[in-house]
Amino acid sequence: MMTSRFRVARMDCAAEEQLVRMSLDGVTGVESTAVDLDARTVTVTHRADAAEIKRALDALNLDTRRLDGGPDTPPGTSVDSTTEERRALVIALAINAVFFCAEMAAGIFAGSMGLVADSLDMLADASVYALSLIAVGGSALRKRRLAAGSGYMQLALAFGGLIEVARRFITGETPPDVFVMIVIATLALGGNVVTLLVLKRARSPEAHFQAAWIFTANDIKVNALVIVSAIVVSATNNAAPDLLAGAAIFFIVANGARRILAMARRM
């Protein structure tokens, strides 16, 4: 039995942690995976060649390098609690699914592409949590199909959103409802904070769901972007800041879809 440690420099949130876990779950010979988001490290106990594990991580394009390796599992290496993990993932999935629906409806009502894009970011996270739950115990082929389906769906939605942003820039749009934007984006930010607290409570002291605010750093930045764009819309009485925020978030969703598809190819 070998233990290898890897630094994954661009692993910034819980969704990307799940991508790492799912990617390694498809490598034959991997016995357990411990993730430290605070330090951005992954410790893998395995019988497989470490180079194969490195290739699986490299496919995610999260800037991975191997730190060390050894013949024995170091004392204190945590073992994931499947029950706690499942419970936390179910709660995280429910929160993200609810806010996806709420933000999508509010975005359409308020005429805000920022809120619509933010809802798709929530959907992207929800799909990763759902994949993590559905794929447990499944075959590699099933996991690959589920991941690929999710990735293509997110990619299609992101590009559709970018096309709509371009259309609105060309035709000209009245400014969105700023009050609705700020209220819903603030509630979504609160939902992300609740999610990270749930995930933090489920973690073991040394591994799974390690870290605090870094879990939802990207999501919180997205929520803040929508709030800031709403303030600028209010100040300028112009829809452009909302459209620019929407475009930026759609690019974030598209990049996440690209990572999921890369993982699916490695499963």
Same domain, 203 and 123: yes
User: What was the pLDDT predicted at 243?
Assistant: 95
Contact of 181 with 114, CB cutoff 8 Å: yes
Same domain, 180 and 222: yes
Domain assignment of residue 122, given as a range: 82-266
| CA 127 to the chain's CA centroid | 9
Same domain, 109 and 54: no
Place of tokens 């475009």: 247
pLDDT at residue 267 is higher than 50 = yes
Helix, coil or strand: residue 66:
strand
What does the pLDDT average to over 148-164? 85
Same domain, 60 and 128: no
* DSSP E strand stretches across 61-116: 64-70
Range of 36-50, 91-105, 228-242 with top mean pLDDT? 228-242
Same domain, 166 and 186: yes
pLDDT at residue 77 is higher than 50 = no
Q: How many domains does the chain have?
A: 2
Average pLDDT of the chain to the nearest whole number: 79
What does the pLDDT average to over 141-159? 78
CA distance 248 to 28: 37
Same domain, 100 and 224: yes
CA distance 188 to 107: 13
Same domain, 177 and 259: yes
CA distance 245 to 238: 13
- Residue where a domain stops, chosen among 42, 70, 98: 70
Same domain, 13 and 65: yes
Same domain, 236 and 142: yes
Q: What is the DSSP letter of 205?
A: S
CA distance 154 to 256: 8
What does the pLDDT average to over 168-172? 89
- Residue where a domain stops, chosen among 35, 70, 105: 70
